[in-house]
Chain A
Amino acid sequence: MDLQQLSVKFFVTAGSRVDQDALIPVFHRWIREQRLEERVLVDVADYRHVHHGPGVMLIAHDAHYGLDEEDGEPGLLYSRKRDEVGDADDKLRAAFDKTLAACAHLQGEPDLQPLSFRGDRALVRVQSRLVADNSAASFAELAPHLEKLARALYPESTPSVRHVGDPRAPLSAEISADGDPGIEALRARI
């Protein structure tokens, strides 16, 4: 399976404050400081007015980042836009790496506190419907790659991988684990 346009979302912890207003200057500064490992950081898009929407987004050439609020569950959403053909496991690892790096950066932003991300649950999507639809058959193809990654991320528990979402949505799966090793530990394991 050629995983085109992966997206990964890590959800905020229960005690977090999701302050989209405060995120605007943070993302502008990230662009100035070239904080993320992206080829080109382009702009900040403001969708605060949209109910359960993508919030404030950082638009980059290869991917978008944002504190997404879909289904009323806020989290850092990394959403890849441009891809080459490549190995599925490598692409998954790279997407998780970028997402976790952005989570870590946000957790370190003083103006956004309290804000932290749960390390025990992630939503993964293959946005390209050319690659896959959100069917059981497509999930069966994706699952072994996700399970391999989940085992690496959560060696101390038995993580689960399940198929989720509206059949019209992109192929979607959720990885969850019993304990939360924390964002930094996950980064180290990627």
Chain B
Amino acid sequence: MRTWKERLGGEMPPAWADEIDAFEHEMELRRQGKLDEKVFAETRLRRGAYGQRYDNGQRHDGEQTRALNFPCGDLTKGPSTVWDAPGMERIKLPMGKVSHRQLEVLAEVAEEYSDAILHVTTRQDIQLHFVNIDDTPDLMRRLAAVGITTREACGNSVRNVTACPYAGVCGDASFDVTPYANALTFFLLGHKDAQDFGRKFKIAFSGCEGHACGLTTIHDIGCIAAERQEGGVTKRGFSFYVGGGLGAVPHKAQLLYEFLPEEELLPVSQAVCRVFARLGEKKNRNKARLKFLVAKLGIDEFRRLVEAEREVLPEDERWTTALTDDPVTPEIPTKDAAPLEPGDYGEGFERWRRTNVIPQAQPGYATAIVRLPLGDITSSQTRALVDLAREHCGDTARTTVEQNIVYRWIPEASLPAFHDGLARIGLADGGAGTIEDITACPGTDTCKLGISASRGLAGELENRLSTKAESLDDDVRKLRIKASGCFNACGQHHVSDIGFLGVSRNVGGRRVSHFQLVVGGQWTQNGASYGLAIGAFPSKRIPDLVDRLTEYWIAERQPGERFQDFIKRSGRAKLKKALDDLRHVPAYEEDPSFFADWGDAREYTIGDMGVGECAGEVVTLAEFGLAASEREVFEAQLHFDQGDALKAATLAYGAMLSAAKGLIKQQNPDISDDADAIVREFRERFHDTQLFHDPYAGAKFASYLFKTHEEPPEKGDGVDQEAARRHIEEAQLFIEAAHACYDRMQTQVASA
């Protein structure tokens, strides 16, 4: 039977195929114990292969914590992370953009490697859960063959670049931000200046100030499309924000440039990355996001540093070519525009149209939001949805930060047929962007850091609110609810009208799941303001709390008073008082249901919380270089075994260069890939200073690199198996010496 690698060989971009092979080789090295678990963990995260709850090999079954005895035994894929334990694969969809064919393949891989569910995240990614790491290389290959990479979906890297799902079809946008977001995505993907961060880095684009679609305020870099007249010409650019973020300590992004011309988008973003890599916190991950650096330095000093960095950046032609050479394929509507004929299409259709359909800037076309409950859709639903879209829509869909899917370019006349098709697969629910369309992070369902069942709560609220949505006051219906399973705020609760974040409380000696209530956050204007924390309430009282709070607002508001203004006017103390009785937890004997979380029959515990991989481990550039050298020498062995002596010797030489480059990067992060430059700097910094010298063998191991560099394998008279074997052995010794050198450097730093 042919493997996926053999089958898809010609269909994947060669660079992506090589990266996946490299990851597979790193997996093999880890299995053999030749790659440190911390380094492998960060490598894995940078391929989007994330941990999941219980992957430390333990689970509380409601009575006691038991070991999950996976067949892999002691093998780990990261610190306290068992190899065989199911994990999550995060799949980046830049701008949430996904073609019909890509969706079909996502449905396939979800069916085969996961649980046949595609989960849309609050950052427009798709996540698959319960994936075994052994399946990930093939999963990645199948995605790569249709143009999707999982590279840098997790870890301390530039995460998925998000953008308004209505970019290009919205009448309020200055212009379509898609090509710019796309250019920045692929410019920074794997960019050397974005490899040494202390934490993750998130970028978002928005077409306008007023709506929430891009949520630029909560991102490390937020770009809002702007236009300016210059000499009678309309010039495109961006209001450019930096240092926003949610989490336990939310920060609003600050304006770095009122108007950054389009040609400066890539270089200035690169300069921001360099400042972050150089000055951002690396040791304390709780302080390592860009927002802390911007706050510490102040926006003016940060701007000065970015500008100084921008000044000295070597010119890169991609700064401009990426904006023109990589245009996003224009969407092609399936059908011509046509207005909706007047008629009776039924109450279900009208209700859906009111909330889920947005007219496009292009007359006769509309955009429809397909509501996915809790962001989930099955593989079969996905295929049926693709069929429907092929019949009526443009050739791509966009996922949204509210965990839905948006279809564009639907002729208005086709909306009833599109709605009927959705109804046949159970996806015709109206209420998109209303109180019944709740956003929730994975929480305790699958997240290692989850404290409370945010999805369980959201499911319960959706059930209750959808049954009475029609009878709710119109203003109440327009409110948004968002829930996060812990303070990390992945559910974006800070920018919702009614937000929840999971916490736990001890009641009578037992743990009880609670949610902290955060109210009055502003979703519009790109998440303009963050909500007010009111206090923690037992999970099981949250549905009553939502009723109480909304009724209280309706009863007490002044004419025309918005929810946010009402919250501000009322203040924390008054709101707390109005809700205070809902804090009560009855005794266990009286009502044990309070001591279990939503959708979970086990008695509640926080014992299952693990160590998060949100940020991954901070792995230095030297450690990455050394890991790469290990992989290359492993690949050299494989080619040696296949009798390809030249390739084996070349890879062995490359392995030495990688190890040397890794060491140099500790002192000069800008070292280039040029072999001459690497060897020259290695000689100056490590050989001449004797830093690389072995206590017994002196300069012997360094000489292997110098000798091979003088006569590289591809330039000699040919390499036979014996010579290749020698090259591999020398490379192995060189790498060992590099490890020893790095250890000495670390010891020196520690003692200094």
Contact = CB atoms under 8 A, between A and B. Distances in A.
A170 B86 CA distance: 22
A131 B85 CA distance: 25
Given A5-B112, A47-B376, A53-B376, A166 B383 contact: yes
B53 interface: yes
A128 B112 CA distance: 6
B378 A54 contact: yes
Contacts of A57: 115
Interface in B411-431: 425-427
B376 A61 contact: no
B71 A61 contact: yes
Interface stretch (B280-288, B344-352, B470-478, B595-603): B595-603
A169 B601 CA distance: 34
Contacts of B624: none
B377 A50 contact: yes
A163 interface: no
Contacts of A81: 113, 132
A25 interface: yes
**Looking at B4, B59, B130, B138, which has the most chain A CB atoms within 10 Å of its CB?**
B130
B647 interface: no
Contacts of A168: 104, 107-108, 383
**Looking at A40, A43, A129, which has the most chain B CB atoms within 10 Å of its CB?**
A43
B61 A40 contact: no
A27 to B, nearest CB: 8
B426 A51 contact: yes
A166 B380 CA distance: 9
B112 A127 contact: yes
**Looking at B3, B7, B601, which has the most chain A CB atoms within 10 Å of its CB?**
B601
B86 A59 contact: yes
B117 interface: yes
Contacts of A89: none
A71 B425 CA distance: 9
Given A51-B427, A54-B117, A170-B111, A45 B130 contact: yes
Interface residues of B, number: 53
A61 B53 contact: no
Given A45-B445, A170-B111, A28 B117 contact: no
A49 interface: yes
Interface string A120-155: 000000011111000000000000000000000000
A19 interface: no
Contacts of B104: 168
Interface in A12-50: 24-25, 28-29, 31-32, 39-40, 42-50
Interface string B47-64: 000000110000101110
Contacts of A47: 115, 117, 376
Given A59-B115, A64-B130, A42 B373 contact: no
A2 B459 contact: no
A46 B599 contact: yes
A59 B130 contact: yes
A170 to B, nearest CB: 6
Contact of A42 (B68, B138, B380, B456): B68
B374 interface: yes
Contacts of A53: 117, 376, 378, 381
Interface string B348-389: 000000000000000000000000011011101101000000
A76 to B, nearest CB: 15
Contacts of B84: 40, 61
Contacts of A166: 380, 383
A171 B534 CA distance: 54
Given A53-B376, A70-B378, A166-B383, A127 B426 contact: no
Contacts of A64: 115, 130
A52 interface: yes
Contacts of B373: 49-51
A177 to B, nearest CB: 26
B51 to A, nearest CB: 13
A152 to B, nearest CB: 27
Interface string A94-116: 00000000000000000000000
Contact of B70 (A5, A24, A40, A170): A40
B697 to A, nearest CB: 46
Interface in A166-185: 166, 168-170
B111 A127 contact: yes
B1 A131 contact: yes
A28 B378 contact: no
A43 B425 contact: no
B58 to A, nearest CB: 11
Contact of A24 (B4, B59, B600): B600
Contact of B383 (A45, A82, A169): A169
A90 B346 CA distance: 53
**Looking at A24, A48, A49, A130, which has the most chain B CB atoms within 10 Å of its CB?**
A49
B86 A42 contact: yes
A28 B71 contact: no
Nearest to B602: A28
Given A64-B115, A166-B383, A49 B132 contact: no
Contacts of B380: 52, 70-71, 166, 169
A22 to B, nearest CB: 10
Nearest to B112: A127
A61 B132 CA distance: 9
B76 to A, nearest CB: 16
B462 interface: yes
Contacts of A48: 459, 599
Contact of A2 (B1, B115, B462, B600): B1
Contact of B59 (A42, A54, A130): A42
A171 to B, nearest CB: 12
B372 to A, nearest CB: 9
A40 B601 contact: no
Contacts of B62: 28, 32
A28 B425 CA distance: 30
A151 to B, nearest CB: 27
6 contacts: A28-B600, A45-B445, A46-B459, A50-B376, A54-B116, A127-B111
Given A28-B602, A42-B85, A46-B456, 11 more contacts: A28-B600, A31-B61, A32-B61, A42-B68, A51-B373, A52-B381, A54-B378, A127-B111, A130-B2, A166-B380, A170-B112
Interface of B: 1-4, 7, 53-54, 59, 61-63, 68-71, 84-86, 104, 107-108, 111-113, 115-117, 129-130, 132, 138, 373-374, 376-378, 380-381, 383, 425-427, 445-446, 455-456, 459, 462-463, 599-602
Interface of A: 2, 5, 24-25, 28-29, 31-32, 39-40, 42-54, 57, 59, 61, 64, 70-71, 79, 81-82, 127-131, 166, 168-170
| A-B interface, 3 closest residue pairs, ranked by CB to CB distance from nearest | A51-B426, A25-B601, A49-B373
